[in-house]
Structure 1
Amino acid sequence: MPESLTRAVRWDTVVGALLIVLLLFSFTFVAGFGNALNLSFLIGNTLPIALIALPMTLLVVAGEIDLSVASTAGLSGAVMGRLWNEGMAIETIIPVCLLLGVVCGLVNGLLVTRLGLPSLAVTIGTLAAYRGIAQIVLGSDAVTDFPAQYLQFAAGRLGDSFLPQAFLPFLVLLVIAVLVLHATPFGRSLFAIGAGEEAARFAGIRVRRHKLVLFTVTGLMASLTGVFWALHYASARYDNATGLELSVVAAVLLGGIDFDGGRGTLGGAVAGVFLLGALQNVMSLLNVSAQSQIVVTGVLLVISVLGPRVARQIALARAAGSTG
């Protein structure tokens, strides 16, 4: 097994073990954690992060990032609310919002792949632009009177279980993402691009096209998340999903996806998503303030970026010492 894959699997195991330990601790010592309502609340609140984490994982593996995903989700929700107020049918609104997400992702992708701009700078810019457009579209209004069946799908549970109804479509998307990244030539090419873009280009991989596809799909999934967010919380506002990009990036990197690209697994990313979601849920049950939860998320983000780098430096130092 290649060394990089061994490291990824080992990191996945650690993240999965931490998730299991946290769940065992929470079921045992945190009052109210194990009841069906709270578990449904935990999964439902984590799903927006998990949905965007799927394409974000592929994007980071390829050495890029999209920080505009939360603003795209907010814009999608704002357009959804505005069109609903204008009397358009919800069955028409949702495809329009998804198409809007494709456009937002395509703009990001074209700026990065055609103009050669760094994705970090581009998506910081579009983060502000998309959020500003969302405010122009809907203003400070909150739209809440969406059809009951859609609200029920986004917030309801499967029978008497704790699983949200929306969890099943997420599982389908997860399986598709896993197969794409780990079982197709396209997925293998993303690892090659992340490991060395120039080498990948010389190997015949169409780097710019692959990245454009990734940015477009990320925009699509961000807009889908915006629709889900508005229905799950029964409120479409221009500031929906504010700050969500921090949680997505923190969860993906915590799951072992290398920020420099070329390393990681989708299983590790999903484990990181639910580890972060469970931790936030536990902190809420323990009455930890929202500000402190943001601090914890930020610290985890720093650790998830710094940890692998420190580990590699230690490994290089040991290798140098053994050959010296």
Structure 2
Amino acid sequence: MSVDTPMRAADTAPTAPPRRWRPALGWDTAIIAVTLAFLVAASLGVEHFGTARNFGFLVLDMAPIFLLALPMTLIIITGDIDLSVASMVGLTSSAIGVMWESGLPLETILPLAVVLGMVLGAVNGFFVAVLGLPALAVTIGTLALYRGLAYVLLGEGAVATFPRSFTGWTIGSMGWVPNVLPWLLLLALVFGVVLHATPAGRAIYALGANVTAAAYAGINVMRTRFLLFVTSGAVAGLVGAFWTLRYSSARGDNAFGLELTVVAAVLLGGVSIFGGKGSLPGVIAGVVLLMSLQNALRLGSVSTEALTVVTGLLLIISVLLPNIIASVQRASARRRRTPDPDRSDPDRPTETAAPAAH
């Protein structure tokens, strides 16, 4: 570029994060491939895995993890985390039982469960986004607080008198397609569009990459983080309603320990625990892979303790392996940029070798 040529603004503007997910060779793409390969292998090699009946059970088991993983993906990409999701599910389940016993109809109770989840998520958002406290510490605290409140509402008892018209639909199907599956896909589409095709999604990635730069770029950091925790709470309230109706039981210990599986599925899907990286298609593949693996192991009569070990190992692998790969790639890039000292400089005259002695 000549000196007299004015520099355009586009030449100096920072590159914006990608608006939509594009398949490329990466961790999330590899997980999608591994998931498809595992589904084919399990269908051929594990008895009853590929049947319509088992597919229905797999979708029902996967639904809570799938739903909670959607907002969790957005939260972790920003560099935060919400470990209270399972406790919010348990508290909303207990609240549903209390409201049902008080005489309220389920048509009123179910929306109220989502509203309650939003309130619980707003509490997390207030401490994290408004007061600036670490999300890890806050949500560990509310994990214990919300679970304790769930036990306060119902104690060790349970409410199991919900009408068949609701519980039957929750576990029912249209042919081989479970009733809940279209709703799962619809919500995944909504979250995918928001993350990969809207300014809000670009803001989420920007927060995870550099929160200070995002603030200077005009992104309302506090509002974005707050709304993500409210969304997480709303989805947890929805899952609380689903869990209660699926098992026809409102209990304080519903979904106990589920947060580990949710986080493992999100990280397995390629979302960086440090924020700024990840895609929703990869997370969906991670959820399907993790739950399909657990389902196949159950069909093989593997104990619950072993399933917990598998989940923990996958969580460790999904954190360590991408970082090891990234470190190797950075080292390889540095080696390519470093000039080879053994290679002669083309601008330097070469030395003439001495003639060999005869």
Does the pair score TM above 0.5? yes
Question: 1:289 aligned to 2:303?
Answer: yes
Contact 1:78-1:134 within 8 A present in 2 as well: yes
Contact 1:8-1:265 within 8 A present in 2 as well: no
The 5 A counterparts of 1:133-212 are: 133-158=149-174, 160-161=175-176, 163-212=177-226
| C-alpha distance in 1 between matches for 2:23 and 2:36 | 20
| C-alpha distance in 2 between matches for 1:74 and 1:8 | 39
Question: 1:48 aligned to 2:46?
Answer: no
SS of 2:118 mapped into structure 1: helix
Contact 1:253-1:269 within 8 A present in 2 as well: yes
SS of 2:178 mapped into structure 1: coil
The 5 A counterparts of 1:36-75 are: 36-75=52-91
- The alignment's TM-score, normalised by the length of structure 1, stands at 0.96
Question: 1:125 aligned to 2:125?
Answer: no
1:279 equivalent in structure 2? 293
Question: Offset at 1:40?
Answer: 0.3
| C-alpha distance in 2 between matches for 1:35 and 1:190 | 40
Contact 2:27-2:322 within 8 A present in 1 as well: no
Of 315, 322, 327, the residue aligned with 1:301 is 315
Question: Offset at 1:221?
Answer: 0.2
| C-alpha distance in 1 between matches for 2:16 and 2:201 | 17
Question: 1:218 aligned to 2:232?
Answer: yes
Contact 2:49-2:296 within 8 A present in 1 as well: yes
Residue identity opposite 1:290 in structure 2: T
Contact 1:82-1:138 within 8 A present in 2 as well: yes
- The alignment's TM-score, normalised by the length of structure 2, stands at 0.87
Question: Offset at 1:291?
Answer: 0.6
Q: 1:219 to 1:82 in 2, by over 3 A?
A: same
| C-alpha distance in 1 between matches for 2:25 and 2:325 | 15
Residue identity opposite 2:317 in structure 1: I
| C-alpha distance in 2 between matches for 1:276 and 1:243 | 15
Residue identity opposite 2:33 in structure 1: A
| C-alpha distance in 2 between matches for 1:101 and 1:7 | 34
Q: Which runs of 5+ in 2 are unaligned?
A: 1-14, 339-358
2:9 equivalent in structure 1? none
| C-alpha distance in 2 between matches for 1:197 and 1:135 | 38
**Aligned residue-pair number:** 322
Residue identity opposite 1:200 in structure 2: A
Higher helix share: 1
Overall identity of the aligned pairs, in %: 47
| C-alpha distance in 2 between matches for 1:202 and 1:51 | 33
Deviations 1:164-212 (A, max 9, x none): 1011111111111111001100001100110000000011100110000
Q: Which runs of 5+ in 1 are unaligned?
A: none
Of 84, 104, 117, the residue aligned with 1:88 is 104
Question: 1:321 aligned to 2:305?
Answer: no
| C-alpha distance in 1 between matches for 2:22 and 2:324 | 17
Contact 2:17-2:202 within 8 A present in 1 as well: no
Question: 1:252 aligned to 2:243?
Answer: no
| C-alpha distance in 1 between matches for 2:24 and 2:84 | 27
Question: 1:264 aligned to 2:250?
Answer: no
Mean Cα displacement is larger for which, 251-260 or 5-14? 5-14
Of 32, 41, 46, the residue aligned with 1:25 is 41
| C-alpha distance in 2 between matches for 1:7 and 1:62 | 21
Question: Offset at 1:321?
Answer: 2.1
CA RMSD of aligned residues (A): 1.7
Of 32, 44, 48, the residue aligned with 1:16 is 32
Question: Offset at 1:273?
Answer: 0.5
SS of 2:111 mapped into structure 1: helix
Residue identity opposite 1:215 in structure 2: F
The 5 A counterparts of 1:100-115 are: 100-115=116-131
Q: 1:81 to 1:8 in 2, by over 3 A?
A: farther
| C-alpha distance in 2 between matches for 1:2 and 1:128 | 39
2:346 equivalent in structure 1? none
